[in-house]
Amino acid sequence: MTDTGSRTYVSYLDHQGRFKGIFSWLLSTDHKKIGLMYLNAVIVFFFVAVILGLLMRIELLAPGRTIMGPQTYNGMFTIHGVIMVFIIVIPALPAVFGNFFLPILIGAKDVAFPRLNLFSFYLYILGAILGVLSQFAGSGPPDTGWTFYVPYSAQSATNVIYALTAAFILGFSSILTGLNFIVTIHRMRAPGMTWFKMPLFPWALYATAWIQVLATPIIGITLLMVIAERVLNIGFFDPALGGDPVLFQHLFWIYSHPAVYIMVLPAMGIVSEIFPTFSQKPVFGYGAIVFSSLAIAFVGSFVWGHHMFTSGMSYWARWFFSFTTFIVAVPSAIKVFNWISTMYGGSIDLKPPLLYAIGFIFLFMIGGFTGLTLGSLASNIQVHGTSYVVAHFHYIIFGGMGFAFFAGIHYWFPKMFGKMYNFTIANISWVLVFVGFNVFYFPQFIIGFQGMPRRSFDYLPQFQTGEVISSIGSMVLVAGLFLMVINLFRAVYKGDPAPANPWKGVTLEWQIPSPPEHENFETIPEIKNKPYFFGNTSTN
């Protein structure tokens, strides 16, 4: 496929459009370049947040004050949360891999609105900088937690407004990305690619995009109301003025629970691409995966109340939200069965992407099951606000979305950069990350169950064993992450050239040269087969 005949092949990395030098990147509307810029930004902010997390782990090595006081610790976990949630996990998968691969997977030359895409990248950067700035500027880092619960967030003297504005702007960026993807999928599929011939990653992005578009405005207006509360004393959430703090929690979680599905649906999409490729077998139950994505997006929009079981909701509301929480576990489980069955009987090639994808299933299962403990009314009372919750959502968000991100980067790396990384180092870093992760978070389940509160810089001596094991795990994890990133960075500059199709994949991105050309396809392909058709790769 690399032989393009009379035309000379120029990789998108070297392509110069209207602008030269650095501006050929910064002002590029090429979806691949925008995807890479997002990738760089995500890596930078990820390490900022990882370092904050590591500092918290060091603080928790011993009871009492170790390296920082309570106020600093409060700022740390708030900014760690804001950066991780709003700057990394919500945008990462759609903005990096979605931007880069959605158009390629559906056989298009770019997204529907390339300039809007660049605009949303700059909104993202603006929001991200504002978020980090809130840590340093003015009157001290915000100390409300990433959830900004009122009435405290309306009263705290710290830089809450910076963080709120940052989240607002990042939300807007996320909306525009989602909008772009929906229109792209509707209007720009290659001829012959009907909806049910579309690969699963675009399907996942489609379901995600709808949540981004419909849920994000609610958090936007909610954050505006908190700003109004602080600036104008408007009283919506202030009990002294007749307002209702629980209403804030409703509004906040109407967005922020579906936001979990913004994180995890594209993750599921990525592993749905990886399993067929490394099993050399069509995905098991294509239709079931598609419909479970849509079902998760829909049902997941109506489970928000399970964050508020102890907030004094009505009995029937608690009953309802607990019920829907259990319902939403069903489509998630269906997907797990599909992935496992895809591997069953396939010719499995245990390369790093597959290792991460298997790690994803393992960790996501633990996260999912502990989610059911939290979703049932009685046990929720016991573990609410403990480190059990912290462990649960890190298993879902880091173990789920994070591992899928690592799987995705190892899977698509040769396509994105045209280079191949070192497999041995990738495998070693996988072991470190996987083992470190479990050693880090599993003890949190146990001490959480015993009553260790979350968001506390101090604890009772009886939790020290668990906390120390956790902290050791965190260091192994961070070492693994560094090794992985170094391996990938080295490969960008010194790696061997990658072939067009190193994994024998059959989706469209593997049919074009690595790295792709500026507009992806010389001629738009005509789609005849279902995706993941391994029967005769030459005709696909």
Partner 1 sequence: MSDSHNNIEHFDNEAGKMGMWIFLFTELFLFGGLFLVYAVFRTKYSADFHAGASELNSFIGTLNTVFLLTSSMTVAMSLTAIQKNNKNLALFLVSVTIMLAALFMMNKYFEWSHKFEFKIYPGSSVLKNMNRGELLFFGLYYMMTGLHALHVLVGMILLSINLVKIKRGVVNMKRYLLLENSALYWHLVDLIWIFLFPLLYLIT
Partner 2 sequence: MDIPLPAFIPDNLINKDHMNNETHISSYSSLAIVLIILLLLTMISVTVTGFHLGPFAVAAALIIASIKVASVITYFMHVKFESLFMKLMISGVFVIFALIIIITFIDYLLR
> For binding to partner 2 (CB under 8 A), which residues are involved?
186-187, 194-196, 214, 246, 250, 254, 282, 284-288, 291, 301-302, 305, 312-317, 320
CA separation for the pair 170, 86 (Å, rounded): 7
Q: Does 512 bind partner 1 (CB under 8 A)?
A: no
CB of 316 to partner 2, least distance (A): 5
Residue that has been written with the tokens 């173990």 in this structure: 399
Q: What's the min distance (Å) between Cβ of 214 and partner 1? A: 6
| 3-state SS class at 11 | strand
- Tell me the closest approach of the beta carbon of residue 286 to partner 2, in angstroms: 6
Secondary-structure breakdown of the chain: helix, strand, coil percentages, each rounded to the nearest 5: 70, 0, 30
| Residue 294 binds partner 1 (CB under 8 A) | no
Is the Cβ of residue 25 or residue 302 nearer to partner 2 in the bound state?
A: 302
Residue of the chain from 41, 87, 123, 225 that contacts partner 1 (CB under 8 A): 225
Q: How far apart are CA 295 and CA 366, in angstroms?
A: 21
Q: Which does 475 bind (CB under 5 to 8 A by kind): partner 2, partner 1, none?
A: none
Going from the C-alpha of 105 to that of each of 188, 248, 348, 527, the distances in angstroms are 11, 40, 23, 11
**Of 221 and 381, CB closest to partner 1:** 221
d(CA 277, CA 97): 17
What is the smallest separation between the CB atom of 183 and partner 1, expressed in angstroms?
5
Which parts of 75-114 interact with partner 1 (CB under 8 A)? 107-110, 112-114
241 binds partner 1 (CB under 8 A): yes
Other CB atoms within a 10 A radius of the CB of residue 24 amount to 17
Exposed e or buried b for every residue in 494-518, given b needs 16+ CB within 10 A? ebeebebbebebbbbbbbbbbbbbb
Q: Write down the least CB distance from residue 266 to partner 1, Å.
A: 18
List the beta bridge partners of residue 97: none
Please give the structure tokens belonging to residue 206: 């489609």
CA–CA dist 386, 379 (Å, integer): 12
Count of residues that interact with partner 1, criterion CB under 8 A: 47
Least CB distance from residue 322 to partner 2, whole Å?
12
Q: What are phi and psi of 138, to 5 degrees?
A: 60, -130
Nearer to partner 1 among residue 71 and residue 233 (C-beta): 233
- Closest distance to partner 1 from the beta carbon of 140 (Å): 25
Q: Does 447 engage in binding with partner 1 (CB under 8 A)?
A: no
Instruction: Assign 419 to helix, strand or coil.
Output: strand
Q: Give which of 36, 121, 49, 47 is closest to 83, Cα–Cα.
A: 49
Calpha distance 453→388 (Å, rounded): 9
Scan residues 195-224 and list those touching partner 1 (CB under 8 A). 213-218, 220-222
Q: Is 486 in the site for partner 1 (CB under 8 A)?
A: no
Contact 52, 76 (CB under 8 A): yes
**Nearest-5° angle of CA 156, CA 227, CA 132?**
70
Helices (H), 60-140: 70-82, 90-91, 99-105, 114-136
Question: At its nearest, how many Å lie between partner 1 and the CB of residue 222?
Answer: 6
Rule CB under 8 A: is residue 465 a binding residue for partner 1? no
For partner 1, the closer CB: 307 or 410: 307
Smallest gap from residue 276 Cβ to partner 2 (A): 12
Which contiguous run of DSSP H or E holds residue 420? Answer: strand 419-420
CA 448 to CA 427: how far, in whole Å? 32
Mark out the alpha helices in 399-422 (DSSP H runs).
Answer: 403-417
Contact between 316 and partner 1 by CB under 8 A: the answer reads no
Residue 285 contact among partner 2, partner 1, none, beta carbon within 5 to 8 Å by kind? partner 2
- Residues 155, 194, 310, 424: which binds partner 1 (CB under 8 A)? 194
Among 183, 469, 475, 492, binds partner 1 (CB under 8 A): 183
Q: Does residue 340 bind partner 1 (CB under 8 A)?
A: no
The number of angstroms, rounded, from the C-alpha of 350 to the middle of its chain's C-alpha atoms is: 24
- Residue pair 457/68 in contact (Cβ under 8 Å)? The answer is yes
Site string for partner 1, 111-140 (x = CB under 8 A): -xxx-x------------------------
First-to-final CA distance of the chain:
13
Of these, 145, 235, 453, 502, which contacts partner 1 (CB under 8 A)?
235
Q: Which stretch binds partner 1 (CB under 8 A): 186-194, 366-374, 456-464, 501-509?
A: 186-194
232: partner contacted, choices partner 1, partner 2, none (Cβ within 5-8 A by kind): partner 1
**Nearest residue (CB) to partner 2, 111 versus 483:** 111
Phi, psi of 158 (to 5 degrees): -85, -175
Q: Is 190 in the site for partner 1 (CB under 8 A)?
A: yes
Least Å distance, CB 490 to partner 2, is: 41
Identify what 32 binds: partner 1, partner 2, none; CB under 5 to 8 Å per kind: none
Summarize as ranges the residues that interact with partner 1 (CB under 8 A). Answer: 107-110, 112-114, 116, 175, 178-180, 182-183, 186-192, 194, 213-218, 220-222, 225, 228, 232-236, 241-244, 247, 250-251, 519, 524
